[in-house]
Amino acid sequence: MPEPDLDDLQPIIYITHQHIVSLMSRFKKRDRNLILLILAVILVIVLWGPLMWLAKLVVFVIAVYVVYQLLKENL
């Protein structure tokens, strides 16, 4: 039985290796995106209270400014 020519097998090994590297990089990106999504959810949960307080403060400041402008024009 003749021995296989290793030069013929080299491109197949290279393509297989590139395919594996591509799959691994895709999994790494997916893992990184999953971790970033989890961190974003945690940050929003932690900051939800302060963000709502800040939003209420901004609405209050705008309301005070509008009332001040209305009173200033009428007096």
Residue 65 has pLDDT above 90, yes or no: yes
Q: How many domains does the chain have?
A: 1
Residue 17 lies in a domain: yes
pTM of the complete model: 0.47
Q: What is the pLDDT of residues 1-55, one digit of tens each?
A: 566 555 555 555 555 666 666 766 766 777 888 888 888 899 888 889 888 999 9
Residue 72 has pLDDT above 70, yes or no: yes
Residue 1 lies in a domain: no
Structural domain containing residue 31: 6-73
Eight-state DSSP code of residue 26: H
Structure tokens given for 4: 């296989």
pLDDT at position 7: 55
pLDDT at position 5: 57
